[in-house]
Chain A
Amino acid sequence: MTKSRSVEVGSKKVNLIPFSGWMVVFVLIPIALVVYYAFTGVDGFTLTNLKWIWVYRDTLWLSVWLSVIATVICLLLAYPVAYMISRAGEKMQRNATLFIMLPMWMNFLVRTYAWMTILENNGLVNNALRGIFGEDFAGLNMINNHGAIVLGMVYNYLPYMILPIYTALTKIDNSLIEAARDLGSGAVQVFRRIVLPLSVPGIISGITMVFIPSISTFIISKILGGGKDFLIGDLIEDYFLGNSGVVNYNIGAALSLVIMVMILLATYLMNRFDKDAKTSGGGIL
């Protein structure tokens, strides 16, 4: 009942005017423009831009594939870390989350370049190996390949996976775990039947927070992929800024539309998955 009266707190709809105006002009109209450009050419309405989606199908596929791999690796690395932090003492938890966020405070370009220093042919790892195996050691080929791109994605976005899972885990009421133990669950069953299903919301937001920036990156692929493996983000950048000589907003908009549709689809599937997990009683795993 108090909720409905809250209409008056903060005096009326005047509050919404700047927000609504701003969002319409700078969010909704720009997106409408993207759609408009995707379906127009010099002669007005056209579907020819969409043919470029087919032309670039390998790039699209590579972007999806590398992002999926990076997301899965992030999940596998993040869950144990998040779990261990959530079980630690209060002070330890605060320090650990701080340590996980701290690297994000250094510019990500500089940090990604540091990986180049570590991995490249004359980099730190290979030089160390030469110290062991002699100067003739050819060196490991660790950069300018798909693996390096995935590493860059995992490195940059791992915190985005750890933190939501950690938050979901800390939200689980300890009495639920005690109740499960009380009813006869051993440690493994407590994890499988209570902890894991209840942390699904954290896993899902972690997956979206890693997958979305991964699939749209154009920097990581440039620095660690050696510029030979274009991802969809690189294509969009090129078509809008003309770095490879051609500016074409229409193709760029069409490709952006593809990303948006893929993310919409992924979000939809995730939500379905989450709901299923809730209604079917955690029967997912």
Chain B
Amino acid sequence: MEKNVVIELKHISVAFDGEQILKDINLTIRNGEFITFLGPSGCGKTTTLRIIAGFLEPDEGDVIFDGKKINGMPPHKRQVNTIFQRYALFPHLNVYENIAFGLKLKKLSKADIDKKVKEMLSLVNLKGFEHRNINSLSGGQQQRVSIARALAVDPKVLLLDEPLGALDLKLRKDMQVELKKIQQSLGITFIYVTHDQEEALSMSDTIVVMDGGKIQQIGSPTDAYNEPVNAFVADFIGESNIVDGIMKQDRVVEFSGHVFDCLDAGFDRDEKVDVVVRPEDVDVVPVEKGMLTGTVTGVTFKGVHYEIIVDINGFLWMIQSTDISYVGDEIGLYIEPDAIHIMKKSEYSGMFGDFSSFSEEFDELSDVNAGVESEGSDDD
């Protein structure tokens, strides 16, 4: 395991203008791993990336690359390369010259440069674009050139800073697949920064969920989704109902006025906890068979399923079901033990509320922030 490590961050802290941006970041990144820093605007993910790239020096802590401390090493000496948010292609150079830029600095022969550029162009499906002007390319094509330019210099690690943020949805999906393919075929480490949880789930080997300058959780996409460590992670990744509960004993929890069996253990008796139930894990049943009962206050058709908002003792739950219900219906809810996930109380407890209108507004607000971030670039 240790041998396979390419980058280690140890106790990294950074502050700008007295404001703490990163607090004691510790992270180990393995060779060939696709790792994603996921979090909302201002969580410190881009800052972490810039520290690895060498554009920013941490106030405290060490950056270790291949077992050697590289604090203070300038970016052009590091074996990591970056795909920038808006590509940062050189406007005075054409496609060929952009890709050849790093190779020329390595003083390779003309023939070698030529060979490598051709190889890169075919890797990103841009054969024949050598002499095109950068400004004549579409966003997707510019993105490919920037990938080719960074990969041409054979980095051990590729850093990608919200690389798909400026592309439209369809193109973004295609590029996700393509990036993953390129990463697997080259076998190098990708460190990917995004605020898009779907993107993170579908591409990554490991997800690092960040907020407030701290790492909240490190784990595989399935871990992050199924076993969130706190209310923040549960809310940020996927949809969730987060309710207050009390741990009666191991594998028994009480919430919403009912006692449930669950699979979690290791809490104190009567410890207050956060309970997460994913909307798709709740079954709608007749009232008499329900563990919980409530009134339907809203129904939205989403294609594969209906999204049903249910008022249970004043707390609004979201449930995804293929069976339709109608506003005003009394329905029963049934929750299997493996659908219940128990989390320790944290600073995020109670912050996300229920699915009342406030909750939707909150989601929209965080989307707005995300948009601002991809425009406002580096001061994440």
Contacts and interface: CB of A to CB of B under 8 A. Distances in A.
Interface of A: 173-176, 178-186, 189, 193-194, 197-198, 277-278, 281-282
Contacts of A178: 53, 55, 75, 82, 84, 88
A37 B103 CA distance: 60
Nearest to A172: B91
A277 B93 CA distance: 10
B258 interface: no
A55 B106 CA distance: 58
A194 to B, nearest CB: 6
B106 A176 contact: no
Interface in B95-145: 97, 101-102, 105-106
B88 A282 contact: no
A175 B102 contact: no
Contacts of A182: 53, 75-76, 80-82, 150
29 contacts: A173-B86, A175-B84, A175-B85, A175-B86, A175-B377, A176-B90, A178-B55, A179-B88, A179-B89, A180-B90, A181-B75, A182-B53, A182-B81, A183-B81, A183-B101, A183-B105, A183-B149, A184-B76, A184-B102, A184-B105, A185-B76, A193-B101, A197-B92, A198-B90, A277-B92, A281-B92, A281-B93, A281-B97, A282-B93
A282 B97 CA distance: 10
A271 B116 CA distance: 34
Contacts of B53: 178, 182
A194 B89 CA distance: 11
Given A185-B76, A281-B92, 7 more contacts: A181-B55, A182-B150, A184-B77, A184-B102, A184-B105, A184-B153, A193-B101
A211 to B, nearest CB: 24
B198 to A, nearest CB: 26
Contacts of A189: 105
Nearest to B84: A175
A172 to B, nearest CB: 9
A183 B92 contact: no
A175 B54 CA distance: 13
A268 to B, nearest CB: 21
Nearest to B81: A182
B167 to A, nearest CB: 17
A176 B102 CA distance: 13
A42 B291 CA distance: 112
Interface string B257-284: 0000000000000000000000000000
Interface string B175-204: 000000000000000000000000000000
